[in-house]
């Protein structure tokens, strides 16, 4: 801390007492000494609350990771408010309904996302690769589910890791796929709008405008499975 210190000058042979009155103490300010380095300060970690739940939240319940599919804040006329949720277990794939008391603490699942490239299908397994280390990660067909209809070799996806294990993956929101089979539209139909089913190179079937033809590339929204535009 900054403070003051007092010095008193002593007489020396060259000092002429007749030229000055008796010496008086004087003070000089002192700078504070540098503080010793302490322990590093870490940001405070705030508890995850049921009030923070939203669709897509990752939470840990009974030692397992769950994804919030639906939620609803309920405030009854009598009794305490609560949050009603529909959860999907990342490991088993099962979905359950669960309620949480409003404001109750919930543990967030420590899920890490890493970008990997889908490379090929090996039997019933889908193989993803880290392009830096060339390490492979495999998911079973049961783990991939309906997402397989949008998977195309060379596509970058986000793999989800929990406790060092791959538990799921996220597709790109928009994918570019090729129409391999489609019925020709009737002349004049394009002016009136309308759509027709088209089979894509991944095996997925989507409704496309009547002007779309075989061999064309289109953009599809993987969240809804709907045609967006020509690529």
- Mapping DSSP to helix (H, G, I), strand (E, B) and coil, where does residue 141 land? helix
Predicted local distance difference test score (pLDDT) of residue 51:
87
The list of the chain residues with pLDDT below 50 reads 1-46, 188
In the chain, which residue ranges form alpha helices assigned H by DSSP?
141-144
Predicted local distance difference test score (pLDDT) of residue 143:
85
What's the CATH superfamily of 111-170?
A: Nucleic acid-binding proteins (2.40.50.140)
Predicted local distance difference test score (pLDDT) of residue 48:
78
Q: Which CATH class is domain 174-230?
A: mainly beta
- Domain 48-108 in CATH 2.30.30.30? The answer is yes
> What is the end-to-end Cα distance of the chain in Å, rounded?
68
Phi/psi of residue 227, nearest 5 degrees: -65, 140
Q: ∠ CA(187), CA(220), CA(59), 5° rounding?
A: 155
Predicted local distance difference test score (pLDDT) of residue 189:
54
Q: What is the pTM of this model?
A: 0.66
Domain borders along the chain are 48-108, 111-170, 174-230
The 10s digit of each residue's pLDDT in 45-85 is 335 788 889 998 999 999 999 999 999 999 988 889 999 99
Token digits of residue 4: 């003051």
| Shared fold status for 48-108 and 174-230 | no
Token digits of residue 152: 């195309």
């Amino acid at each position: 801390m900054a403070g003051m210190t007092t010095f008193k000058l002593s007489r020396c042979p060259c000092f002429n007492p007749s030229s000055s009155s008796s010496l008086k103490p004087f003070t000089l300010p002192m700078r504070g000494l540098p503080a010793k380095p302490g322990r590093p300060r870490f940001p405070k970690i705030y508890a995850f609350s049921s009030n923070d739940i939203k669709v897509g939240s990752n939470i840990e319940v009974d030692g397992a990771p769950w994804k919030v599919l639906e939620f609803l804040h309920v405030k009854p006329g009598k009794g305490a408010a609560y949050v009603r949720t529909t959860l999907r277990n990342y490991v088993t794939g099962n979905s359950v309904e669960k309620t949480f008391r409003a404001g109750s603490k919930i543990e967030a699942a420590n899920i890490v996302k890493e970008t990997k490239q889908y490379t090929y299908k090996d039997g019933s397994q889908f193989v993803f690769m880290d392009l830096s280390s060339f390490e492979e990660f495999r998911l079973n067909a049961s783990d991939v589910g309906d997402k397989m209809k949008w998977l195309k070799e060379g596509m970058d996806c986000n793999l989800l890791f929990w406790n060092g294990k791959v538990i799921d993956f996220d597709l790109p929101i928009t994918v570019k796929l090729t129409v391999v089979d489609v019925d020709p539209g009737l002349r004049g139909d394009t002016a009136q709008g309308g759509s027709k089913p088209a089979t894509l190179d991944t095996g997925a079937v989507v409704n496309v405008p009547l002007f779309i033809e075989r061999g064309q590339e289109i953009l599809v929204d993987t969240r809804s499975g709907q045609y967006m535009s020509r690529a």
